[in-house]
Amino acid sequence: MSATTSDASAATPTSAPSAGRKDLRRSLREAERRAEQLHSGRSGYWFLLPFAVVFLVFLVWPIIYGIWMSLTDRTLIGTDPGFVGLANFIEAFGDAQVWQTLWQTVLFTVGSTIPLVLVAMVMALLVFTGLPGQWLWRFAFFASFLLPVAVVTQVWAWMYQPDLGLFNTWLGALGLDPVGWLTDPNWAMIAIIAATVWWTVGFNFLLYLAALQAIPEHLYEAAAIDGAGAWRRLFSITIPQLGRTTWLVLALQILASLKVFDQIYLLTGGGPNGATRSILLYIYDTGFVNYRLGYASAISYIFFALIVILSLTRFFGGRKEA
Amino acid sequence: MATQSLVLPEVATRRAIRRADNQRSTRLLLGSSTTARTLAMIALVLMTAVWLLPFVWAIITSFKTETDAASAATLWPASGWSLQAYINVLTKGDLPIWMLNSVITAVLVTVITLVVSAMAGYAFSRTLFRGRRLAFAITVASIMVPGQILIVPLFQQMLTFRMVDTYAGIILPQVVAPVMVFILKKFFDAIPQELLDAARVDGAGPWRTFSTIVVPLSKAILVAVAIFVFIGAWNNFLWPFIVVSDSSLMTIPVGIATVTETYGLQYARTMASALLAALPLLVVFMLFQRQIVRGVATTGLGGQ
């Protein structure tokens, strides 16, 4: 009794023989689909057309063109590039600069991802406590994400300024020696990471905040009835419930950090002595400073291949289905 | 007057609901312990102070005279506050032009991206055509391509198209947003087919269905995507930096990064121009905080 009603009554309240109606419904749906195919068969292309055009012209074509360029010794000024086969790729694998800048990119990625995930989580937890001042907390933690990168680097370069900067003035007040934040190879990467964390943590903070709002309240109520204290609830409900979001934030952050360019270019230009040069900076320098476009393309594709391989690993790929 | 009296109670109730939500949240997370509440509050205040510090320091510097700014990092300037830096930036520099360029390019990027991506999302979600699955698979796969690696071939392409130093050159390469197509397609998939069927029965073609049923039903996600694209376009540095060298075509991030170097050691002026450049998005954020927070969260998560 209940088995049949749950199936039929949901759709229509009439009590016709359900088997016959199902057949009818199925054939109707098929006819409809065929009609739809005839009806909107071509309009689908029209809807897709604008995207297809920009996609092909500004994404697919540069990818193909770049591959071709990477097989030539093209320069920005030279007019007749010659085909050099895989010579650029072979050169890149033997280029110490490629390895060094890749290594520094990894350092930046690890060094920035950890605080960018942890600080964002702490911020979101603190804001989610609902303590008064919500507007201010959200503004303070997210506003910096809205700044153009050049604004971020100018403000931070000013705070890092060796003689008049805020940080060295404070160090001086404490009786400590000034630090060459952007000129000392030991500090430059840390200084860039600090500015990056300040700039972009707001995005991860929002992702965490959204995740926190999605935790079902009854979990907390159940825990409260069981007599779990605030810390206990934090570690056995809140943080485990954030697991999926943490993987997501981690994956997004790693992929974003690997592509670091703007703030390094503007703060140190890759210096001192190349100590903060990321792979994208090396590509930029090779292509637009030394004008070796073919070689720059080859390094681009090696980097691209690394990102694709990384994205296809289980860590990144598996999460997408969840 | 009449509208005010209609709106106010609603706002008041919404505020009350929000306040109740916050209080419940506090109870759930922190319990009734005063120590926990105090500690959380102290942590919040400290972190907020740290995060606001660069803003505060930039604001203080921008209202100093150049001599004061370049003499010591004191809170209170020796020769009083000054508006000179702002006057200089607004009257002598190109900042107003860059601002205009940023508005033009960011708005156009947003509008074009939104139209193009929504149409494509609809094509993938609700129409049938040969090669649809393959085209969608290619679109999704292309999300992985980091735009930065394309700067070299893209710049060559711009030279060929004679788009270097043009608005088109800044805008067009930015409107390709496969992620947004994916997000919108996923959202359109959730619209009940019955609504679209009803429209078809009434004689609406796919265009009518799209513009009168799908778009109005998807307002929230379209706003979210628009916000996201706008922030990205407004703040984009690398591409406009490469494709534009004419100062009168620069966007704000490019302009203040490249041209203010010539200000040399004028710290107050540099901070004033940085703050003015930051202002538009910050004001928009203050006005639409709720929508922006929700928009960034949904598109950020939806992309996955």
When comparing pLDDT for A260 and B79, which is higher? A260
Q: What is the pLDDT of residue B136?
A: 92
d(CA B116, CA A50): 6
When comparing pLDDT for A221 and B132, which is higher? B132
Contact status, residue B29 vs residue A234, Cβ threshold 8 Å? yes
d(CA A212, CA A224): 18
CA-based nearest residue in chain A for residue B251? A148
* Structure-token pair, residue B231: 């922030």
Same domain, B218 and B280: yes
d(CA A138, CA A135): 5
Q: What is the pLDDT of residue B9?
A: 60
When comparing pLDDT for A48 and A40, which is higher? A48
Name the least confident of A21-30, A260-269, A276-285, B145-154.
Answer: A21-30
Q: Where are the beta strands (DSSP E) in A145-213?
A: none
Q: What is the pLDDT of residue A322?
A: 35
Among B91, B114, B139, where does a domain finish? B91
Number of domains present in the structure of chain B: 2
Q: What is the pLDDT of residue B304?
A: 38
Q: What is the pLDDT of residue B10?
A: 62
d(CA A311, CA A69): 25
For the cut 80, the answer to whether the pLDDT of residue A227 exceeds it is: no
- Per-residue pLDDT of B190-236, as tens digits, reads 888 888 888 888 887 888 888 888 899 888 888 888 888 898 898 88
Q: What is the pLDDT of residue B292?
A: 78
Closest CA of chain B from A2, distance in Å: 26
Confidence of residue A112 (pLDDT cuts 50, 70, 90): very high
Interface of A with B in 93-132 (CB under 8 A): 122-123, 125-132
Q: What is the ipTM of this complex?
A: 0.84
Residue B124: list chain A partners with CB under 8 A: 48
Average pLDDT over residues A72-89: 78
Among B47, B70, B91, where does a domain finish? B91
For the cut 50, the answer to whether the pLDDT of residue A9 exceeds it is: no
d(CA B111, CA B88): 34
When comparing pLDDT for B282 and B265, which is higher? B282
Contact B235 A149 (CB under 8 A): yes
Return the SS3 of A72: strand
Same domain, B68 and B121: no
Confidence of residue A57 (pLDDT cuts 50, 70, 90): very high
Average pLDDT over residues B234-257: 89
Q: What is the pLDDT of residue A5?
A: 37
Average pLDDT over residues B73-88: 78
Q: What is the pLDDT of residue A321?
A: 41
* Structure-token pair, residue A30: 């098929």
Same domain, B66 and B109: no
User: Which residues have a Cβ under 8 Å from the Cβ of B9 and sit 6 or more positions away?
Assistant: none
Same domain, B25 and B113: no
- Alpha carbon of B68 to those of A137, A207, B63, B64: distances in Å? 32, 42, 10, 6
- When CB atoms are compared, the residue of B21, B157, B298 closest to A130 is B21
Residue A37: list chain B partners with CB under 8 A: 128
Range of the domain at B67: 2-91
- When CB atoms are compared, the residue of B55, B176, B300 closest to A54 is B176
For the cut 60, the answer to whether the pLDDT of residue A244 exceeds it is: yes
A–B interface: beta-carbon pairs under 8 A? 301
DSSP assignments along B49-107, one per residue? HHHHHHHHHHHHHHTS-HHHHTT---SS-TT----HHHHHHHHHSSHHHHHHHHHHHHH
How does the average pLDDT of chain B come out, rounded?
83
- Per-residue pLDDT of B138-183, as tens digits, reads 998 888 888 888 888 899 889 889 989 999 999 999 999 998 999 8
Same domain, B36 and B173: no
Residue B178: list chain A partners with CB under 8 A: 55, 59
Confidence of residue B240 (pLDDT cuts 50, 70, 90): very high
In the DSSP assignment, the letter for residue A83 is B
User: Which residues have a Cβ under 8 Å from the Cβ of B249 and sit 6 or more positions away?
Assistant: B101, B165, B166, B167, B170
Contact B235 A146 (CB under 8 A): yes
Q: How many residues in total does chain B contain?
A: 304
- The enclosing domain of B274 has a CATH number of 1.10.3720.10
Same domain, B107 and B185: yes
Same domain, B102 and B19: no
- Alpha carbon of A118 to those of A205, A213, B72, B174: distances in Å? 10, 18, 35, 32
Average pLDDT over residues B121-145: 87
Contact B274 A280 (CB under 8 A): no
Same domain, B162 and B237: yes
Nearest residue to B93 (alpha-carbon basis) of B262, B279, B275 = B262
Contact B129 A169 (CB under 8 A): no
* B-interface mutation test, from A29, A45, A155, most B Cβ less than 10 A away: A155
Residue A148: list chain B partners with CB under 8 A: 234-235, 237, 252-253, 256, 277-278
Return the SS3 of A320: helix
CA-based nearest residue in chain A for residue B235? A148
In chain A, the domains with their CATH numbers are: 21-59 (no CATH), 89-321 (1.10.3720.10)
Q: What is the pLDDT of residue A121?
A: 93
Same domain, B34 and B173: no
Name the least confident of A45-54, B62-71, B140-149, B209-218.
Answer: B62-71
**Type of residue numbered A238:** T
d(CA A44, CA B124): 8
Average pLDDT over residues A93-112: 93
Contact status, residue A162 vs residue A178, Cβ threshold 8 Å? yes
Contact B150 A307 (CB under 8 A): no
Same domain, B123 and B16: no
Among B91, B125, B147, where does a domain finish? B91
Chain centroid to Cα A168, Å, comes to: 33
Name the least confident of B3-17, B56-70, B151-165, B238-252.
Answer: B3-17
Q: What is the pLDDT of residue B60?
A: 87
Average pLDDT over residues B62-66: 83
Same domain, B97 and B87: no
**What percentage of chain A exceeds 70 in pLDDT?**
84
Kindly give the residue spans of alpha helices, DSSP state H, lying in B75-218: 84-92, 95-126, 132-141, 151-161, 167-171, 178-189, 193-201, 206-209, 215-217
Confidence of residue A189 (pLDDT cuts 50, 70, 90): very high
How does the average pLDDT of chain A come out, rounded?
82
**Type of residue numbered A177:** D
Return the SS3 of A92: helix
Return the SS3 of A86: coil
Q: What is the pLDDT of residue A277?
A: 92
Q: What is the pLDDT of residue B264?
A: 62
Residue A210: list chain B partners with CB under 8 A: 294, 297-298, 300-301
d(CA B52, CA A144): 9
Contact status, residue B58 vs residue A247, Cβ threshold 8 Å? no
Same domain, B74 and B98: no
